[in-house]
């Protein structure tokens, strides 16, 4: 299951809040490391989502170009058949 940018940011915010409330140094350090990791994962998820949108647009443009080429080829074939009547 893919996690979202928002999910990772929420976890990072929780870790930051726990770090702020921690009275023990080792707990604070652990939560700060956790926050840093969650923020890194959030950034990675954001970049992945952006790249996915770009890839979808490229695929969509490619499909549209292929459909236009196929339509043009069909028109040319139709015109060629019309130029040489049978019968």
pLDDT of residue 3: 84
Mind listing the pLDDT tens digit for each residue in 45-59?
999 999 999 999 999
Residue 8, number of CB atoms within 10 A of its CB:
20
Q: What are phi and psi of 77, to 5 degrees?
A: -65, -40
Q: Looking at the domain assignment, is residue 87 inside a domain?
A: no
Q: Looking at the domain assignment, is residue 24 inside a domain?
A: yes
10: nearest Cα among 47, 53, 45? 45
Query: What pTM, to 2 d.p., does this model score?
Result: 0.69
Q: Looking at the domain assignment, is residue 46 inside a domain?
A: yes
pLDDT of residue 2: 66
Q: Looking at the domain assignment, is residue 34 inside a domain?
A: yes
Residue 52 CA to residue 37 CA, distance in Å, equals 22
Q: Looking at the domain assignment, is residue 33 inside a domain?
A: yes
CA angle 6, 7, 12 (to 5 degrees): 95
Q: Looking at the domain assignment, is residue 22 inside a domain?
A: yes
pLDDT of residue 60: 95
Residues of the chain with pLDDT under 50: 1
Q: Count of domains in the chain?
A: 1
Range of the domain at 22: 5-82
pLDDT of residue 87: 60
């Amino acid at each position: 299951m893919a996690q979202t940018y928002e999910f990772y940011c929420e976890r990072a915010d929780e870790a930051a809040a726990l770090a702020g409330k921690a009275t023990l140094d080792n707990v604070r350090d652990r939560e700060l490391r956790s926050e840093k990791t969650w923020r890194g994962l959030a950034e990675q998820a954001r970049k992945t989502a952006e790249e996915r949108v770009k890839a979808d647009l490229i695929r969509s443009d490619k499909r549209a170009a292929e459909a236009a080429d196929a339509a043009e080829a069909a028109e040319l074939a139709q015109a060629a058949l019309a130029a040489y009547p049978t019968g």
